[in-house]
Structure 1
Amino acid sequence: MLQHFSFKPMYENKQLPGWTFSFFYKQTRYSGEYLPNGTITWTSTSQPTDEEAVKKMIHELMLFHVYE
C-alpha cells in the first residue's frame, strides 16, 4: 500500500497536463512524473522492486484524484 501519496501539476498554468508525485512504499520514499498518456517516469534514485504493482496503484490514485 502506498502511504502519504501526494501530487501536484508540473506546470504553473495547469493547462499543460503532467504531474509530479511522491509517496512512501515499504518505508522507502519514491518520486516520479505522471504524464497524460499514463507514462510514469521515476525521478527517485531507485524504483520499487515490484514496479508493476506499484504503477497500477499510482494509476488508480491518479484516475481518482485527477480525472474525476
Structure 2
Amino acid sequence: MLQHFSFKPLYENKQLPGWSLSFFYKQKRYSANYEPDGSIKWNGETPSDEETVKKMIHELMLFHVYD
C-alpha cells in the first residue's frame, strides 16, 4: 500500500496536465512525474515491484484528479 501519497501540478498553469507525486512504499520514499499520457517517470530509485506500484498510482490519480 502507498502511504502519504501527495501530488501537485508540474506547471503553474493548472490547465496543462502533468503532476509531481511522492509517497512511501515499503518504508522507502519515492517520487515521480505523472505525465499526461499516464506514463510515470521516476525521479531516482524505481520500486522493485514497479508494475504493482504503477497500478496503485493510476488508481489514486483516477480518483483524485480525473474524478
Amino acid at match of 1:47: T
The Cα of 1:30 is off from its aligned counterpart by 0.1
- Work out whether 1:8 is the aligned partner of 2:29: no
* CA drift at 1:2: 0.2
The corresponding residue for 2:62 is 63
List, as ranges, runs of 4+ consecutive aligned residues in structure 1 with deviation greater than 6 Å.
Answer: none
Q: Which residue of 1 aligns with 2:19?
A: 19
Matched with 1:30 is: 30
Listed as ranges, the gaps of 5+ residues in structure 2 are none
In structure 1, list runs of 5 or more residues that go unmatched: none
What is the TM-score with the length of structure 2 in the denominator? Answer: 0.97
Q: Which residue of 1 aligns with 2:50?
A: 51
Kindly state the Cα deviation for residue 15 of structure 1 after the two structures are TM-superposed.
1.4
Q: Percent same amino acid at aligned positions? A: 75
Report how many residues are paired: 67
Shift of 1:36: 1.2
